[in-house]
Amino acid sequence: MLKISNIGFRIRGRNLLQDINIVVRTGTFTAVMGANGAGKSTLLKILSGDIRPSAGTVSWNGQDLGSYPVGELSRKRAVLRQQYNILLPFRAREIIEMGRYPHFSGKLTTHCKNVIKEVAAYVGVEGMMERNYLTLSGGEQQRVQLARVLVQVWDAPPGEKLIMLDEPVSALDIHYQHQLMALVKTLTENSFTVIAVLHDLNLAMQYADDVLLLKKGRSVAFGDKYSVMNEEAIRTTFDVAAMIHYPAAYGYPFITVNGQINNKQTEQSDNYVDSNHFFEGKI
């Protein structure tokens, strides 16, 4: 489990994050959401060890993240970003093999080759292993990157595999978005712990377990998605009016956004009751 206590990040007198307290349960998918500049990516950078928090601690399975040896951490924690700017014409296989770098020195071991084969089949990239990465489509590239990220932590002990995704699907079309998210969802069933920054409310509702809502560096709400993703919390976080629908045919509720609301109303919390009435009237 990943325990985040009192995290704060301050740079040039500006607080990008303040008093974040969450516990990411092992084997779950936690989505981090919020408007642009809310501190989502900063939080993910702190969790991945990229930057150090100005305040607070992050511990992974009881050990402080900062005290992990570099090598050990790289065999347990992997990060997938939104987009990669690769200019050299590597083959897909070579990119995926890089994910195994923390595991071997010199030549690729048989075990590593097996892991790569397994993951390639799992992610569905076996067919493009020998192709030039630069000639793949955006969705294929992102799947190759996901394969690289997965081989990195694939054989870590159960409960110690941590995957972080920073807007992993923002550059993909709807088909690839769902393909990738479904893939990530099945990871949690294989004892992976997943944290992802997402923009799409419905993707989070459909695939995540827990949700953290951030606004201006502070936590608006954190917990089970059904309890967190309510109309009021979404309005507070994004300054938009949203509605949650519970259609019988779907396995999960879906969210529609009705547009921007008056800023005055959101800034004064007293007005929530009023605006709720407003929406009820509209329905």
Partner 1 sequence: MVILLLGVCIWAAGTGALAISPEAIFAMICKKIGMDTGIIFTEQQENVFWIIRLSRVAMALLIGATLAVCGAAMQGLFRNPLADPALIGISTSASATTVLMIVLGARLFSGFQSLLGQYSLNVSTFAGALLATLLVYRIAQQKGKTNVSIMLLAGIAVNALAGALTSFVTLSANDQQLRSVTFWMMGSLGGANWTNVAGISPFCIACIAGMPFLSRQLNAFSLGESDAAYLGIRVERLKNTIMILCAMGVGASVAVSGVIGFVGLVVPHIVRMIIGPEHKKLIIGSALSGAILLVLADLVSRTIAGPIEIPIGIITALGGGPFFLYLLLKEKSKSIM
Q: Which residues bind partner 1 (CB under 8 A)?
A: 48, 50, 70-71, 73-75, 77-79, 81, 84-91, 94-95, 98-99, 101-102, 148, 152
Q: Which is nearer to partner 1, 165 or 220 (CB)?
A: 165
Other beta carbons within 10 Å of 59: 16
Q: How far is the CB of 102 from partner 1 (least distance, A)?
A: 4
Q: How far is the CB of 89 from partner 1 (least distance, A)?
A: 6
Q: How far is the CB of 91 from partner 1 (least distance, A)?
A: 7
Q: What is the DSSP letter of 99?
A: T
Q: Which is nearer to partner 1, 43 or 221 (CB)?
A: 43
Q: Is 158 exposed, middle or buried (0-12, 13-18, 19+ CB in 10 A)?
A: exposed
CA pair distance 283, 281, nearest whole angstrom: 6
For the stretch 91-103, what's the b/e string if a residue is b when 16 or more beta carbons lie within 10 angstroms of its beta carbon? bbbebbbebbebb
Q: Which is nearer to partner 1, 86 or 273 (CB)?
A: 86
Q: Which is nearer to partner 1, 46 or 221 (CB)?
A: 46
Q: How far is the CB of 83 from partner 1 (least distance, A)?
A: 10
Evaluate whether 86 touches 145 at the Cβ level (below 8 Å).
no
Q: Which is nearer to partner 1, 101 or 254 (CB)?
A: 101
CA pair distance 196, 224, nearest whole angstrom: 15
Q: How far is the CB of 137 from partner 1 (least distance, A)?
A: 14
